[in-house]
């Protein structure tokens, strides 16, 4: 902040649109970006929380209720953002969900919905916001995961969706470069959000399996630390974001994590934990955590 009280950093006056902004990583990224002087467009499916956050951030911010799998709703949110805030300088395609169960035991519609939100939702968000980003030579940060680098039993749809997000980002980075738009992919490991806490509470066997993962895949990062990494990425127009940074090392050895050796090592634990996860998922009687409104971000 300058001596006259105005923000003078890289985000000062910039318009940042965040999906999944009602809670978790999206909410905290929006809060931190606002502190850095950005004006926020908050997009999600919990209007009460979005309205409260926008009011808390103060004048110069806007919110829009939209499902990221609904192209028309996203288009209206983008049009509303441009009308209210003048344009869009950066987008954080963050909305995401995680289903419960396995391919053998669980609601197939929850598996499909996970891919629809996490991957198709990113595609739709990118398509809706690219024209506005081109106008300002903006930056698009799409949220993948460390799960893009490793296969974990009980997380098939989530891992598949996040691997898809990574490759989608790699491709559109090349497509948009000549238009002046930079594209980054974010790869957090476990972050202390409602989504992660509820998954651990719903499936104790899953929580036990996580403790047996190698570092840094078993580490849980604070949501503030993750938000700080995302905001730095926006400021620097980063190509890759790892949370924690040690996840970069996991990416470097990703071929080993899906090798026959990894299958044998992980399989030893999976033979014991997967039946327990399935039993607990069956007893749970729902496909998503309690704070995920009908599996929608």
Contact 230, 117 (CB under 8 A): no
Largest CA distance in the chain: 63
Contact 46, 23 (CB under 8 A): yes
The DSSP secondary-structure symbol of 224 reads H
Q: Of the residues 158, 168, 230, 242, which is catalytic?
A: 158
Tell me, yes or no, if 242 is annotated catalytic: no
Name residues whose C-beta falls within 8 Å of residue 80's C-beta, 6 or more positions apart in sequence: 41, 62, 64
Q: What share of the chain is helix, strand, coil (3-state, %, to 5)?
A: 55, 15, 30
Give the CA angle between residues 285, 153, 141 to the nearest 5°. 95
| Sheet arrangement for strand 15-19 | 62-65, 39-44, 15-19, 90-93, 139-143, 182-188, 240-243
Active site residues: 158
């Amino acid at each position: 902040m300058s001596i006259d009280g105005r923000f003078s950093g890289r985000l000062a006056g910039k318009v940042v649109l965040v999906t999944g902004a009602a809670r978790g990583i999206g909410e905290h990224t929006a809060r931190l970006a606002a502190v850095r002087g950005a004006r926020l467009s908050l997009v999600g499916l919990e209007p009460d929380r979005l309205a409260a956050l926008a009011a808390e951030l103060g004048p110069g911010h806007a919110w829009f209720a939209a499902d990221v799998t609904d192209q028309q709703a996203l288009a209206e949110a983008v049009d509303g953002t441009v009308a209210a805030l003048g344009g869009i300088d950066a987008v954080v395609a963050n909305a995401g969900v995680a289903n419960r169960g396995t391919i053998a035991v669980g609601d197939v519609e929850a598996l499909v919905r996970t891919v629809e939100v996490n991957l198709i939702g990113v595609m739709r968000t990118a398509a809706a916001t690219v024209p506005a980003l081109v106008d300002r030579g903006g930056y698009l940060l799409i949220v993948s995961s460390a799960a893009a680098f490793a296969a974990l039993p009980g997380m098939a749809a989530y891992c598949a969706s996040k691997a898809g997000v990574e490759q989608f980002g790699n491709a559109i980075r090349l497509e948009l470069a000549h238009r002046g738009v930079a594209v980054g992919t974010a790869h957090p490991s476990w972050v202390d959000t409602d989504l992660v806490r509820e998954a651990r509470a719903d499936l104790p066997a899953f929580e036990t399996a996580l403790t047996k993962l190698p570092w840094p895949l078993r580490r849980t990062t604070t949501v503030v630390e993750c938000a700080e990494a995302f905001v730095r990425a926006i400021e620097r127009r980063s190509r890759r974001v790892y949370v924690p940074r040690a996840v970069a090392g996991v990416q470097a050895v990703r071929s080993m994590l899906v090798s026959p050796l990894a299958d044998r090592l992980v399989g030893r634990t999976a033979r014991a934990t997967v039946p327990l996860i399935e039993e607990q998922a069956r007893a749970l009687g729902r496909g998503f955590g309690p704070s995920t409104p009908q599996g929608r971000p």
